[in-house]
Structures are given as C-alpha cells and as structure tokens.
Amino acid sequence: MPATSRRKTRPSLSHRSSVAASKPLEILRAGSFEELPWLVHAFSTRQAGVSTCYGGRTLNLGLTPQDIKAKVERNRAMLLNALGATNGKGRIWPLVQAKQIHSAIVHRVGQPESEPEPMTGDGTITSIPGLLLAIKTADCVPVLVADKKRRVVGAFHAGWRGTVARITEKGIGEMRRQFGSVPCDLRAAIGPCIRRCCYSVGPEVRAEFESQFSYADQLFEEVFDSNAIHVRYPLLFLNQRAPGHGDLGPEIHLDLVAANQRQLEDAGLRAEHISVIDGCTACDTTRFFSHRAEFGKTGRMMAVIGIKPE
Ligand SMILES: [Zn+2]
C-alpha cells in the first residue's frame, strides 16, 4: 500500500471491518415508531465512542466510577448529533435524566431550565418538543412509549424491582391521566436488556412477582444447566450425600421482557404495536454493556425519546 493512502481518508469497507478500525456508532430503532416522522428515538449500544475504560473504545453514556466526565459528555454529544437532536445553532437538546432508584415514580417534564432540579424516579413523560427523555441501563429494561395523536412521549426504566412496582403500567397510566392518551394511539418499544437466557434470580424475586401478578408463573422458567459449574467440576461439590442426592436444583430464570410486554398490554396497547429489540446484554458484551456479565464494572447505554419541534 503506498504511504500516501495512509492519510486520514475515509476508511474503505474492508478497513472498517478490521480489528484496528473503530466501529461506527450503532443506533437501534424500533419498527413500532417508524410511522411517526415527528419522533426522535434510539437505543444505543456500546460500540464506537471515546471511553477507553471498558476495553476498546466504547460509547459509555453514564457517569460511572471508572470513566471520565468529559468523555461521557463527548459520547452523549456524539449520540445526539447522530440523531439530529440539535437546535438551529448546532447545540444539542437537553437530555432529561432522573436518578434511577428502581421505583414506579413518574415525572412529567416541562420546559427545561438552565439548571434543572435533580429528579429521582424511573419514568419521565413529556409533550415538550426539543428535549430528549433518557433512561440509562446495563441489563435493566428500557421502555419507550409514544402517543401518535397527542405527540406525547414517555421513557421508563424497568429492572426487576421497577417491574414488580409496575413502572411501565403506571407510566402509561400517567400518560392517560396527564395528557388524555388513549391506548390505541400508543406505540411502544422494549430495548436491549438481560433476557431470560441469562437472568437467573433467587426464590425471593419469584416470591415478589407471585405476590403481585396472577400470571407470575408465565414469567419464570426452571433451567437445568448442563454447563453449570457443579456439573463441569463435580469434585468441587463432593459431599457426604449418596450420588444423585447432592443436586443443587434448577436455576430460576426471569423473563423481564415478557413481564413488561404484559404490562403494556394490560395498559391497553395492542401486541402488534409493541416492538422488542433483539439481543441479550449478558450474551453479547461486545455489543452491549451488561452489569451482570461484567460483574458490575461496566458502562451504561441509553434509551432516548423526544419530539422534533415543528
Ligand atoms: Zn442471554
């Protein structure tokens, strides 16, 4: 290759796919929002970005202990610019975030102030154009909702605790109460999260769901993992019991996507108006941040939704 071609030109496709090339920013969008030209939305992945603390270059969008604030802000600006979430002067729209506490608290967001009050909660709804509601996740379920008639949007953060507290169902209830949204006008999307394949939970989690939902048994699966550590290394688990009596029992796996889909449907949405983005955060840590698969030391993705000014 002649030296002159090594200058900073646009890399060819073959260069892009090489290990050395940084990956392009990846934005995941939901089919259920396709018919809404006034809507801006995205589910981010970890690919591209300027953070370097989680291996390679990543798009960490959360102020995590390992990362530097300036890099996170640069990543956020990259995402918003890629979405066209900028005003006439090229400034990015305000990003509305609550301090997420695994609750069912939903805030209605008004005109953004220069120094917004810090909010605590797990849902935001608004009809104000020119801002983005944001949910940060690394395994939990991000749920985005749009009212196609009234131009209202909502963003909800549903980990298992928020799901038990019915954050998604209550969030839609707030859209109805505050804006008069009618369920048949609502479109929803469930973003990348830890899926049933990887989300083993303790019996106390199942007990919480059983205390709240008549359909709880449909959300859990007992998994007899042939690859579990006690099967692969039986000598580690030698005990006084007779062979076949030292079984640790099945793992219980929770399906948070099904749980939140059910809440959307119970709130009146039709199944065909709900998109579920493919991918399990814990299965695919080259593409997603996963709190569980990376033992808590990981970045954050964002689900964002907003209304274009007319
Ligand atoms: Zn998985």
Look at residue 207 and give its three-state secondary structure.
helix
Give the pLDDT confidence of 125-181 residue by residue, as tens digits: 999 999 999 999 999 999 999 999 999 999 999 999 999 999 999 999 999 999 999
CATH of domain 24-196+257-307: 3.60.140.10
Res 11: pLDDT: 37
Instruction: State the distance from the centre of ligand 1 to the C-alpha of 186, rounded, in angstroms.
Output: 29
Instruction: State the distance from the centre of ligand 1 to the C-alpha of 155, rounded, in angstroms.
Output: 24
**What distance in Å separates the CA atoms of residue 73 and residue 53, rounded to the nearest whole number?**
15
Instruction: State the distance from the centre of ligand 1 to the C-alpha of 282, rounded, in angstroms.
Output: 5
Instruction: State the distance from the centre of ligand 1 to the C-alpha of 150, rounded, in angstroms.
Output: 37
Instruction: State the distance from the centre of ligand 1 to the C-alpha of 193, rounded, in angstroms.
Output: 9
Res 73: pLDDT: 97
**What distance in Å separates the CA atoms of residue 187 and residue 48, rounded to the nearest whole number?**
29
143 has which bridge partners?
A: 156, 190
Instruction: State the distance from the centre of ligand 1 to the C-alpha of 280, rounded, in angstroms.
Output: 5
Instruction: State the distance from the centre of ligand 1 to the C-alpha of 295, rounded, in angstroms.
Output: 15
**What distance in Å separates the CA atoms of residue 32 and residue 219, rounded to the nearest whole number?**
24
Instruction: State the distance from the centre of ligand 1 to the C-alpha of 196, rounded, in angstroms.
Output: 7
Res 250: pLDDT: 86
Res 111: pLDDT: 84
Which residue type is seen at 77? Answer: A
Which is nearest to 24 in space by CA: 46, 49, 54, 48? 48
Domain ranges for the chain: 24-196+257-307, 200-254
Instruction: State the distance from the centre of ligand 1 to the C-alpha of 195, rounded, in angstroms.
Output: 5
Q: What residues contact residue 262 under an 8 Å CB cut-off, 6+ apart?
A: 213, 215, 218, 219
Which is nearest to 141 in space by CA: 15, 238, 263, 296? 263
Instruction: State the distance from the centre of ligand 1 to the C-alpha of 198, rounded, in angstroms.
Output: 4
Q: What residues contact residue 196 under an 8 Å CB cut-off, 6+ apart?
A: 221, 253, 254, 255, 256, 257, 258
To 5 degrees, how large is the angle CA 194–CA 203–CA 223? 60
Instruction: State the distance from the centre of ligand 1 to the C-alpha of 287, rounded, in angstroms.
Output: 12
Q: What residues contact residue 110 under an 8 Å CB cut-off, 6+ apart?
A: 126, 128
Res 89: pLDDT: 86
Instruction: State the distance from the centre of ligand 1 to the C-alpha of 277, rounded, in angstroms.
Output: 13
Helix axis angle, 256-266 relative to 167-179, nearest 10°?
Answer: 30
Give the pLDDT confidence of 208-244 residue by residue, as tens digits: 999 999 999 999 999 986 555 555 555 655 555 555 5
Res 140: pLDDT: 98
Instruction: State the distance from the centre of ligand 1 to the C-alpha of 30, rounded, in angstroms.
Output: 20
Instruction: State the distance from the centre of ligand 1 to the C-alpha of 37, rounded, in angstroms.
Output: 33
In this predicted structure, the answer to whether residue 107 has a pLDDT above a threshold of 60 is yes
Instruction: State the distance from the centre of ligand 1 to the C-alpha of 276, rounded, in angstroms.
Output: 15
